Amino acid sequence: MDIDTPATRPPDLYGRPRGDSFMQKLAAFSDHAVTRLARRSTPPRRPRATEMPVIRELVVAAKHQEAEDVVSLRLAAPDGGVLPLWQPGAHIELHLPSGRKRQYSLCGDPADRHGYRIAVRRIADGGGGSAEVHDALGDGVRVAITGRPRNGFPFAAEASVLLIAGGIGITPILPMAREAARRGLDWRLVHIGRSRGSMPFAAELAELAAAVPGRVSIRPDDEFGVPAAADLLSSIPAAGAVYCCGLAPMIDGVRRAFGDSCASALHFERFAPAPITDGRPFELQLGGTGRVLPVPYDRSALDVLHEALPDLPFSCRQGFCGTCRVRVAHGRVDHRDRRLTATERAAGAMLPCVSRAPEGERLVLEV
Amino acid sequence: MFRAAHAHPERPSEPLDHHDLVLQPRDVTFDWSTTPLHWLPGEPFATHTFDVLHLMLPELERWFVRTFEQALPLITDDRLREDVRGFIGQEAMHAEAHQEVLEHLLAKGLDPAPYTLQSEWIFRRVLGDRPELTRAATHAHLLQRLALIAAFEHFTAYMGHWILGNRHLDHTGADPAMLDLFRWHGAEEVEHRSVAFDLLVHLDPRYRRRVVGMLVTAPVLTRLWIRGVRFLMSADPELDDRVEVRFRDYLAAARKDLLPPPVSFTRSVLRYFRPGYHPTQEGSTQQAVAYLATSPAARAAAR
C-alpha cells in the first residue's frame, strides 16, 4: 500500500503553539527504546511443525447413488482413524486424481468421527470435476483433502430457523436440520428441485419428517411449479433466521424477497469470485524490463500475478477491499473494481483481482 | 500447537463455536444522511467515547494491514495464511467504513483533523517502518508490532463481544446505522479474534513477547482514548467549550450500560496475561455469525 509518511510532528490538538508533549514522548519512546530493543532482541525459536498436515490422505469407503446424477461418497482415513471435527455448513477441498481441486459441503453426521460424506451432482458442461468424482472415484480409491474442514456457512442455531435448499444445495442444509432437531429448535426445511427423482436424500429427509411432522416440505417443480421466493419465505416463524443454499438465482430471489418477509436474519454461503465475464486475453509485464506474463481470457490478472509473486497481498478477490492494489506504469486499464476513486485510477492504481486490459494489450506494473 | 483444542458441543445447550470459520471481507455500505451528531440521544459523553474509534481506527487498521502484509511471506502454515488474508480484507473494509464517518462528522460541524493528523503520525511514523535498522532488527521490530496488534485485537474482541450482547443501546434510541456499524465491526472482530494472536505465536511463541505487547498497548490506548474524548467534547459545536470530562462521566455511562463496565473490562485485560490464554476463550463466534446475518449493512453487501 502506498502511503505518505508525515515527516513532522502534527500540531497540538487545541492549536497551542508549544507542540504536544504526549506526541513528543511517543516519538522519543519509539525512536529510542523500541529501536534499541529491536537491535538487541534475540531471534525466537519458531515452532517447527505446522499445526496440521497440509494434505490429508483419505480413501473412498462407500459410494451411493442418491438421485439421478447425484452420488455420495463416504471418505475415511486409510487407517480408519479419527478425523478432525466439523460443524454444519463446513466443506472440504477435495484434490482429485487429475489435480483438479473442488470444494464440497459435508452432508453426513458431525458425530461420525471416522468419515466425511459429500454428495456431488454430475454437471455435464462443468469443468470436469463432478464427472471425475462420478466416474473415477470408486470404493477404495485414494484421494486427498486440504488440511481439515473449514466453514463458510456457519449455523448459529437461532431459536427458530427456516432452511431452504435448492437441489444439491441440500448438502450443507441436511446437517443443519439434524442439529436443529437435536437442539430442539423451532425449525422448518423446504427442499426444491426439478423432480423428485433428481432430489437427493429423500429417504433421510422423510425420516426427519417422520420424527417431527410438519417440518419438512419437499417441493419438486414438476408437481408444484417453480416456487416464488416469497412463497419459500412464507413458512418462516416470526423473527426467524433463514439459511439458504442453492444456485445463485434462487439465493438472489430469496435475498430480494427477504425485506418483505417477517424473517430477521439471512444466512447464505458467500462463494468466492464470480466467474469472469467478457474477459479477453492480455499481458502483464513486471517492471520496465521484467518478465511478461500472459493473462488468458478466463483467469484474473491477480491469479497470474500470484503465481509469479506468491507473497502478493490480496483478500476479497472481488474488487472491493483494495488489498491487492498495484501501480500501473504504462498501459490502458479496464477498471472493474468498486473501490478506487477517479484520482487513484488516474495516478495508476489498479486492482488486479477484477480489472483487466483491452484484448492483446500490455500493462507494465511497478512491482 | 498454537491453536486451542476445537470445542465441540457435547450437549445441545452448549454454544456452537466455530473456530474453523472461513474469514471473508464483506462489501458493506452505510448511509449517514439521517444520523445526528449525538447518535446516542442526550448522551454526548458516551457518543464521543465511541466516536474516538472513528478518529483512531482508519489509520490504526491500515497500519495493521501494512504490518500483516509484511508478515505474510514469513507464514509457513497454509491455513493461517488464509486467515491472515481474510483478516487483512476485513480490516481494510473497517478502515473505509470509519473513514466515511469522519466526513459525516465534518459535515456536522465537527472537524476531526487535529486528532486524525496525530493518528496518521502515530501509525505511519511512530509505529511505521524503520529503514535504518539492520535485517535482524527489522524482523524483531516486526515482531514487536505484531505483539502490539495481538494485544489490540484483544480489546477489539472484548468490545465486539460487549456491543453484540448489549441491548441497552437500542433502548436509548441509538441511531440504527451507527449501531449497525459498531456491531458489524464488532462481529467481524469476534470472527477473526484469533488471527493476530495465532500469527504472533506462529512467528514468536515467547510469553514475554506478547506480555510486553499488552504492557505497551493498554496504557497508550487508554491515554489516546481519553485524549480523543476530551478533544471531541471540546470540538463538538453543539456543546459548551468548557464542558469538563471526568472519570465519573465514564462510570455513570457504564452504570447505564452505555459503555463497557470497568470491572469486567479490567478483568479481561488481566486474562491476556494468563499463560494459557487464547482468544477463542473470549467472545462467541456463534453470536457474531448470528448478528452478521441480521446486520442491514452486511446483508445488503453484494458479496
Does the structure show a pLDDT above 90 at B87?
A: yes
Mutate to test the interface with B, among A4, A42, A51, A145 (most CBs of B within 10 A): A51
Task: Give pLDDT, residue A42.
Answer: 83
Number of helices (H), then strands (E), belonging to chain B: the values are 12, 0
Domain boundaries, chain A: 55-151, 160-268, 282-366
**Residue B7 banded pLDDT, cuts 50, 70, 90:** very low
Instruction: Determine, yes or no, domain membership for B207.
Output: yes
**Residue A156 banded pLDDT, cuts 50, 70, 90:** very high
Instruction: Determine, yes or no, domain membership for B39.
Output: no
Q: Is A258 in contact with A264 (CB distance < 8 Å)?
A: no
Task: Give dist(CA A41, CA A47) in Å, integer.
Answer: 18
**Residue A53 banded pLDDT, cuts 50, 70, 90:** low
| Domain A160-268 classification at class level | alpha beta
Does the structure show a pLDDT above 70 at B16?
A: no
- Give this complex's ipTM: 0.91
Model-level pTM? 0.92
Task: Give pLDDT, residue B4.
Answer: 39
Interchain contact, B88 vs A27, CB within 8 Å: no
Above pLDDT 70, what percent of chain A? 95
Interchain contact, B138 vs A38, CB within 8 Å: yes
Instruction: Determine, yes or no, domain membership for B210.
Output: yes
CA distance A199 to chain B (A): 27
Interchain contact, A41 vs B206, CB within 8 Å: no
**Residue A319 grid cell:** 474488487
Task: Give B124's DSSP letter.
Answer: I
Instruction: Determine, yes or no, domain membership for B65.
Output: yes
Supply the mean pLDDT for chain A: 90
Q: A55-151 and A160-268 share one CATH topology?
A: no
Q: pLDDT tens-digit profile of A170-189?
A: 999 999 999 999 999 999 99
Does the structure show a pLDDT above 50 at A4?
A: yes
State how many domains chain B has: 1
Find the mean pLDDT for residues A97-126. 91
Does the structure show a pLDDT above 50 at B2?
A: no
Find the mean pLDDT for residues A2-21. 79
Q: Which fold has domain A55-151?
A: Elongation Factor Tu (Ef-tu); domain 3 (2.40.30)
Which of A:92-121 have CB within 8 Å of B? 110
**Residue B12 banded pLDDT, cuts 50, 70, 90:** very low
Above pLDDT 90, what percent of chain A? 65
Cα dist from A232 to A6, A209, A254, A325, B6, whole Å: 56, 18, 8, 41, 35
Mutate to test the interface with B, among A153, A155, A318, A323 (most CBs of B within 10 A): A323
Task: Give pLDDT, residue A311.
Answer: 86
> Dmax of chain B from CA atoms?
57
Instruction: Determine, yes or no, domain membership for B26.
Output: no
**Residue A357 banded pLDDT, cuts 50, 70, 90:** very high
| 3-class DSSP assignment, residue A194 | coil
Supply the mean pLDDT for chain B: 91
CA distance B99 to chain A (A): 14
Q: How many CB pairs under 8 A join A and B?
A: 211
Task: Give B108's DSSP letter.
Answer: T
Q: Which residues of A touch B219 (CB under 8 A)?
A: none
Which of A:178-237 have CB within 8 Å of B? 179, 182-184
Q: pLDDT tens-digit profile of A199-232?
A: 999 999 999 888 888 899 999 999 999 999 888 9
Task: Give A122's DSSP letter.
Answer: -
Mutate to test the interface with A, among B74, B79, B224 (most CBs of A within 10 A): B79
- Beta-carbon contacts of B198 under 8 Å, excluding residues fewer than 6 positions away, are B2, B3, B80, B83
CA distance A341 to chain B (A): 13
Q: Is B25 in contact with B90 (CB distance < 8 Å)?
A: yes
**Residue B11 banded pLDDT, cuts 50, 70, 90:** very low
Q: Which residues of B touch A15 (CB under 8 A)?
A: 114
**Residue A47 banded pLDDT, cuts 50, 70, 90:** low
Task: Give dist(CA A218, CA A201) in Å, integer.
Answer: 11
Q: Which residues of B touch A184 (CB under 8 A)?
A: 12
Does the structure show a pLDDT above 80 at A313?
A: yes
Superfamily of A282-366 according to CATH: Beta-grasp domain (3.10.20.30)
